[in-house]
C-alpha cells in the first residue's frame, strides 16, 4: 500500500492509516471533529460562543505532520485572544469560524518532518479538534519517555499549569522558609498546585482566594491550604487582616482586577508578586486596576509577570522535581475531566463559571 508520494514520509502502519484516513485518502473512515469560535465572547465565555463541525482528516504537506489529539487542555489565558484585534507578540487573535487555539497532548500519526516520528507523544499549542497539522512554526514540546505517565498529566501537573506554579514560586517569587503566601484563583489549575508547592518550599502560612464556600472548604480540607477567603462573600480587606496577620510576603496572582488593590495594602517589605494571569481582565473590557500601586514603591516590593515557555530548556528538570513530589505524596493531582472533544466549549464555560476544581481537561 502506498501511503504517500515521497519515500521520506514517515507513517504509522498501513492498517492504522487505512482505518483513520481511508484507502489513499479516497474515503474518510473517521472525520475530524472541530470546535470553532462561533462568536466573540461578551464577558465570561458561554457554551453558545462555540460550535462543533466535522471535516475530513487533513493531509500533511511538506514539512508538516498529522497529529492525533488525545487530550485538550482548557486554560483561562486563551480567553485573552478570543477578542477581535487581540493579537500580540505571543499569539494572533482567534478567527471566527476557525478551530479554537489551545494546548493538547497528542500523538504523531504521519510525519513529513525530520524531528517528528510516528508514535511520539507531544504537548503542542494546536486547537480544539481530533486531528491537527503541525507545521515548522508550531510550538511543540517532546514528552520525555523517562516519565512513563499518562499524557493528560503533561497538560496539568507536569504541563504548563504545574510548571507555571513551579517557576512562578521558585524563579519569580523565590519563596523563603517561614513566609506567608497568598494565591488568587486558588482552586484552579495553577492555584491548587501553587498552594501545595508553597508549603513544600517552606511557607509557614498559605492562604487562598476562591469564589464559593464549597471551594474554600475543598482547598482547606483536600488541597492543604491553611486558610481561605471567599472573595464573593466576605469583606476582603478584613479577611486579609484575619488570615494574614503578619502581612503578605508573596502573592501568586492569577486574577488581577479588583483583588490586587486590597492585597497591596497588606504586603510586607520586599514582598514579591508573581503575576501569572489576569482572569478578571479577560472578561472586562474596562480593565480595572489598583489605585495604590505606589505601595510597591514604599514597600520596595516587586511585581513581575512571567510565561513558562521562556524556561523550556528547564522543563525536564522541573518535571522531575514535580513528579518526585507527586510520588512522595507531597503533591496531589486534581482534575476535572470531560469526555469528547465536542464538549470543549462547555468545559471552557464551566471553567470561568467556577464549576471545576483543579485542572480542566477534555479527553478527546
For residues 231 and 291, membership in a common domain is answered with: yes
CA distance linking residue 179 with residue 188, whole number of Å: 22
- pLDDT of 358 reads 92
Q: Is the per-residue pLDDT at 190 higher than 70?
A: yes
Question: Which domain range does residue 275 map to?
Answer: 160-309
Q: Is the per-residue pLDDT at 287 higher than 90?
A: no
Across the strands, what pairs with 133? 66
For residues 132 and 265, membership in a common domain is answered with: no
Which cell goes with 254?
492569577
Residue 151: how many other CB atoms lie within 10 Å: 21
- Residue 231 forms part of a structural domain: yes
For residues 299 and 216, membership in a common domain is answered with: yes
- Residue 99 forms part of a structural domain: yes
CA distances from 191 to 105, 185, 223 (A): 21, 6, 10
For residues 194 and 300, membership in a common domain is answered with: yes
For residues 137 and 184, membership in a common domain is answered with: no
Number of independent structural domains in the chain: 2
- Residue 3 forms part of a structural domain: no
For residues 63 and 18, membership in a common domain is answered with: yes
- Where b means 16+ CB within 10 Å and e means fewer, 330-349 reads ebebbbbebeebbbbbbbbb
Which cell goes with 317?
528538570
For residues 304 and 338, membership in a common domain is answered with: no
User: Strand 180-183 relative to strand 248-253: parallel, antiparallel, unpaired?
Assistant: parallel
- pLDDT of 193 reads 98
Q: The domain that contains 78 carries what CATH number?
A: 3.90.180.10
- 28-42, 90-104, 276-290, 315-329: the lowest-pLDDT one: 276-290
For residues 60 and 187, membership in a common domain is answered with: no
- pLDDT of 112 reads 96
- Residue 323 forms part of a structural domain: no
CA distance linking residue 364 with residue 356, whole number of Å: 18
Percent of the chain scored above 90 by pLDDT?
74
- pLDDT of 25 reads 45
CA distance linking residue 327 with residue 311, whole number of Å: 24
- pLDDT of 283 reads 64
- Residue 187 forms part of a structural domain: yes
- Residue 322 forms part of a structural domain: no
- Higher-confidence position of 81 and 344: 344
- pLDDT of 14 reads 41
- pLDDT of 298 reads 98
- Residue 34 forms part of a structural domain: yes
3-state secondary structure string, the chain?
Answer: CCCCCCCCCEECCHHHHHHHHCHHHCCCCCCEEEEEECCCCCCCCCHHHEEEEEECCCCCCCCCEEEEEEEEEECHHHHHHCCCCCCCCCCCCCCCCCECEEEEEEEEEEECCCCCCCCCEEEEEEECECEEEECCCCCEEECCHHHCCCHHHHCCCCCHHHHHHHHHHHHHCCCCCCCEEEECCCCCHHHHHHHHHHHHCCCCEEEEEECCHHHHHHHHHHHCCCEEEECCCCCHHHHHHHHCCCCEEEEEECCCHHHHHHHHCCEEEEEEEEECCCHHHHCCCCCCCCCCCCHHHHCCCEEEECCHHHHHHHHHHHHHHHHHHHHCCCCCCCEEEEECHHHHHHHHHHHHHCCCCCEEEEEC
Which cell goes with 58?
487533513
Q: Is the per-residue pLDDT at 83 higher than 80?
A: yes
What is the mean predicted confidence (pLDDT) over 279-291? 72
Kindly report, residue by residue over 134-171, the tens digit of the pLDDT: 998 788 888 767 788 999 999 999 999 999 999 999 99
- pTM beyond 0.95: the answer is no
Q: The domain that contains 209 carries what CATH number?
A: 3.40.50.720
- pLDDT of 354 reads 86
For residues 64 and 119, membership in a common domain is answered with: yes
For residues 203 and 176, membership in a common domain is answered with: yes
Asked if 189 and 169 count as a contact pair (C-beta separation under 8 A), the reply is no
- Residue 319 forms part of a structural domain: no
Across the strands, what pairs with 65? 111, 134
Sign of the alpha-carbon torsion through 152, 30, 32, 139: positive
Q: Is the per-residue pLDDT at 59 higher than 70?
A: yes
For residues 234 and 283, membership in a common domain is answered with: yes
- pLDDT of 257 reads 87
For residues 167 and 69, membership in a common domain is answered with: no
Across the strands, what pairs with 74? 360
Amino acid at each position: 500500500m502506498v501511503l504517500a508520494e515521497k519515500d521520506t514520509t514517515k507513517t504509522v502502519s498501513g492498517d492504522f492509516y487505512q482505518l483513520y484516513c481511508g484507502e489513499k485518502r479516497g474515503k474518510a473512515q473517521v472525520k475530524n471533529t472541530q470546535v470553532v469560535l462561533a462568536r466573540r465572547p461578551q464577558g465570561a465565555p458561554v457554551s453558545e460562543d462555540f460550535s462543533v463541525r466535522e471535516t475530513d482528516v487533513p493531509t500533511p504537506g511538506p514539512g508538516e505532520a498529522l497529529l492525533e489529539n488525545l487530550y485538550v487542555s482548557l486554560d483561562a489565558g486563551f480567553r485573552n485572544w478570543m477578542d477581535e484585534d487581540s493579537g500580540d507578540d505571543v499569539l494572533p487573535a482567534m478567527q471566527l469560524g476557525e478551530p479554537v487555539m489551545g494546548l493538547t497532548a497528542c500523538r504523531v500519526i504521519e510525519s513529513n518532518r525530520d524531528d517528528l516520528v510516528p508514535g511520539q507523544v507531544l504537548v503542542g499549542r494546536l486547537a480544539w479538534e481530533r486531528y491537527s497539522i503541525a507545521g515548522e512554526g508550531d510550538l511543540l514540546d517532546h514528552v520525555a519517555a523517562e516519565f512513563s505517565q499518562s499524557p493528560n498529566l503533561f497538560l496539568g501537573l507536569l504541563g504548563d499549569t504545574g510548571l507555571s506554579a513551579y517557576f512562578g514560586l521558585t524563579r519569580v517569587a523565590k519563596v523563603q522558609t517561614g513566609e506567608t503566601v497568598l494565591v488568587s484563583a486558588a482552586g484552579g489549575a495553577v492555584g491548587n498546585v501553587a498552594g501545595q508547592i508553597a508549603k513544600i518550599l517552606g511557607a509557614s502560612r498559605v492562604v487562598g482566594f476562591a469564589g464559593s464556600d464549597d471551594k474554600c472548604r475543598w482547598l482547606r480540607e483536600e488541597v492543604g491550604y491553611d486558610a481561605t477567603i471567599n472573595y464573593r462573600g466576605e469583606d476582603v480587606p478584613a479577611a486579609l487582616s484575619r488570615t494574614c496577620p503578619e502581612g503578605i510576603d508573596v502573592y501568586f496572582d492569577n486574577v488581577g482586577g479588583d483583588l490586587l488593590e486590597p492585597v497591596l495594602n497588606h504586603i510586607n517589605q520586599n514582598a514579591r508578586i508573581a503575576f501569572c494571569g489576569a482572569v478578571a481582565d479577560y472578561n472586562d473590557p474596562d480593565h480595572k486596576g489598583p489605585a495604590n500601586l505606589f505601595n510597591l514603591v514604599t514597600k520596595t516590593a516587586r511585581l513581575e509577570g512571567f510565561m513558562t515557555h521562556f524556561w523550556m530548556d528547564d522543563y525536564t528538570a522541573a518535571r522531575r522535581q514535580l513528579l518526585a513530589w507527586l510520588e512522595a505524596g507531597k503533591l496531589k493531582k486534581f482534575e476535572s475531566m470531560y469526555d469528547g472533544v465536542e464538549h470543549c466549549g462547555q468545559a471552557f464555560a464551566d471553567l470561568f463559571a467556577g464549576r471545576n476544581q483543579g485542572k480542566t481537561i477534555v479527553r478527546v
